Structure 1
């Protein structure tokens, strides 16, 4: 191939009136300098004329993807292809009389072209990642790990091609040699391979998105996912510490994702208080009349049937929750008894706040149970708690 190119160049030089034997080192250096100047001018022309023109065209379009695909970084990476390509084409004119030097120069150009191509693919993948972050359906997918894996594959292929250029070998021969050491390569890139498989599973099954609140007690993670990459998932805990978890652990082990709670628009309140069972009794006539006067019982209530004060309290609390503007009425609201224990009769409040935000949720929960504890004596009920030293003293 090089011999054919050299013959064609020699023929071209003869047509221009330059004999092959007349080309000395001075002529070669002059031609080389001219080639370098032409390459430099073409690169500068592309960067200062073509790139601004492309930016003006993309700025006029309504689509956003072209702004990312033809951004400054992408166009600079593309401009790096110009010098090795032009030098590869023009260098035979300078070294037509020096085949060994020409062969070495062309190898250097190919190596340079291989490196800048790897950089171009990396920049292109960064642009694709930015485009996917702008897409409504893709922005919440953990795609960063997949893009990183494609980059890694590109780098590996680029290194193989680089060695094939240096050794004058077919890339397939080098790949065949690497196949014999596949076990070693799999051991080296074990985390990357597992991370890629886990990333695909997390994305396909919609198990995890950046911004999700997850809890994984085994690894000390309780906070928001800030990044999902090829080898790590970063979780910012509520104390502002960062926990890193391998992606494949999220597939093999269980974790709690609170996204459903946020999408529902409410957060569950599920807490109980213990009622002293000695204070649970049938209401007397005086108690029933007092409950009617206070509005705890309807005036039309059949007083001939026996009424338990705890049942009146439960009915009151259920009505209180249904009329509380901070309680989500679209989700379950319930007041129930749990299994009696040595600490008394547990009375559980089960409802949802109207917001998933933490501070309003805790405020509502506190208000509800402060009200429950303050109202219990109104129904002649006493809350159970273990006696303290002051109780024994009194």
Structure 2
């Protein structure tokens, strides 16, 4: 068949009186142009057929998968396979008298076939990636990492196959010899391998998900995770800058993940007031009577005064000196006031831990810590609630004859 086609054009050119050698070249060029036209026409026809079939199927099905196949041009890439096979079959006919040209061109077409296969695999993997991201249970998983791993293996296999085609060496022999250079490969792809292992551990241990708020002081990250891939984790900070963190840093270094807070019923408020120690004192009867005017603690003071008086009478305490017997202190009453205020505040979650506690005294005073949980976990609202609370507590301190510690400044020395 090949001889018949070649001889048909060859005889036509010779009938015009063209020399045999020149006729061979003209014959080759003619067949080459015809082959290019045939492959182009076949490519257009198959592409149109596959596109029409794909659109019809996509309209009839509810699944977004076939729409994503079209978006990632999978049918279009598949359409190139048959024209490429036709081109390979036409090579012996075109270059029947030029075998030295046919051999390298065949290798080039075979490599193009490998590249086309990789392109199809890439399109399918991107389709799977987009499809998995539409599934609610997989939205926060590092799908990009797994797709990139498959793509790396595909590209390595394709490169090895292409080298094997050009070198005319069996791919299995080539891979065997390639194993000897594994140490160099491990060194070159160190970050990729570390990232691959880290992305698997991050996924299995559920350390980070897309959408999590994390703080990573070492890398200056404080924001939401927007992407997890093989090599990096991208964090969009609250100032809208993007911080890129190596994936393996997520298992080698320490960072904070705020997912637990986000999923809980409240956001923690943990801050203290530093009370000057020399402002702490026992409360006299006059002080107690004055503080009974504070509505939140009036009933508490009534009850405690009654209990303390009864105790002191039973134990014959000499109240000429306040130190004797039991007494109320201004810091203790203030601590009770803070506790009661928190319990009555509408923005505080009463079902979670709530307390006002005294910490160990320091050289700067006695820390009085507020420990509670805000119902609203949104950052700006949370900050508003916490500021509102401490505005009130700081303004309340003088009513209990207490003072907040501050380092000396110029006005202090002037006074």
**TM-score normalised by length of structure 1:** 0.87
Query: CA offsets, 1:100-119, max 9 Å, x none?
Result: 55444433321111111111
Please tell me whether residue 153 in structure 1 is matched to residue 174 in structure 2. no
Quote the offset at 1:223 in angstroms.
2.8
Contact kept? 2:6, 2:93, Cα under 8 Å:
no
SS of equivalent residue, structure 2 residue 376: coil
Contact kept? 2:355, 2:371, Cα under 8 Å:
yes
Contact kept? 1:20, 1:97, Cα under 8 Å:
no
5+ residue gaps, structure 2: 11-23, 309-326
Contact kept? 1:214, 1:222, Cα under 8 Å:
yes
- Where does 1:1-394 land on structure 2 (aligned, <5 Å)? 9=1, 18=4, 24=10, 25=24, 30-95=30-95, 99-295=99-295, 296-298=297-299, 301-304=303-306, 305=308, 306-394=327-415
> What is the CA–CA distance in structure 2 between the aligned matches of 1:85 and 1:303, rounded to whole Å?
100
* Matched residue count: 380
Contact kept? 1:353, 1:361, Cα under 8 Å:
yes
Bigger CA radius of gyration:
2
Query: CA offsets, 1:69-123, max 9 Å, x none?
Result: 3435222222232321222234445455655554444333211111111111112
> What is the CA–CA distance in structure 1 between the aligned matches of 2:75 and 2:131, rounded to whole Å?
16
Which deviates further from its counterpart, 106-115 or 295-304?
Answer: 295-304
> What is the CA–CA distance in structure 2 between the aligned matches of 1:56 and 1:319, rounded to whole Å?
68
Which deviates further from its counterpart, 339-348 or 95-104?
Answer: 95-104
5+ residue gaps, structure 1: 1-8
Contact kept? 2:268, 2:371, Cα under 8 Å:
yes
> What is the CA–CA distance in structure 1 between the aligned matches of 2:195 and 2:122, rounded to whole Å?
19
- When residues 19 and 322 of structure 1 are mapped into structure 2, their CA distance, relative to the original with a 3 A threshold, is closer
SS of equivalent residue, structure 2 residue 136: coil
> What is the CA–CA distance in structure 2 between the aligned matches of 1:91 and 1:384, rounded to whole Å?
91
Which deviates further from its counterpart, 23-32 or 248-257?
Answer: 23-32
Contact kept? 2:195, 2:247, Cα under 8 Å:
yes
Contact kept? 1:273, 1:348, Cα under 8 Å:
yes
Quote the offset at 1:28 in angstroms.
5.6
Q: What is the CA RMSD across the aligned residues, in angstroms?
A: 2.5
SS of equivalent residue, structure 2 residue 214: strand
Contact kept? 1:338, 1:345, Cα under 8 Å:
yes
Which deviates further from its counterpart, 379-388 or 90-99?
Answer: 90-99
**TM-score normalised by length of structure 2:** 0.83
- When residues 386 and 159 of structure 1 are mapped into structure 2, their CA distance, relative to the original with a 3 A threshold, is closer
Which residue is equivalent to 1:4?
A: none
Which residue is equivalent to 2:319?
A: none
Contact kept? 1:143, 1:203, Cα under 8 Å:
no
Contact kept? 1:146, 1:230, Cα under 8 Å:
yes
Contact kept? 2:57, 2:66, Cα under 8 Å:
no
> What is the CA–CA distance in structure 2 between the aligned matches of 1:60 and 1:72, rounded to whole Å?
19
- When residues 243 and 133 of structure 1 are mapped into structure 2, their CA distance, relative to the original with a 3 A threshold, is same
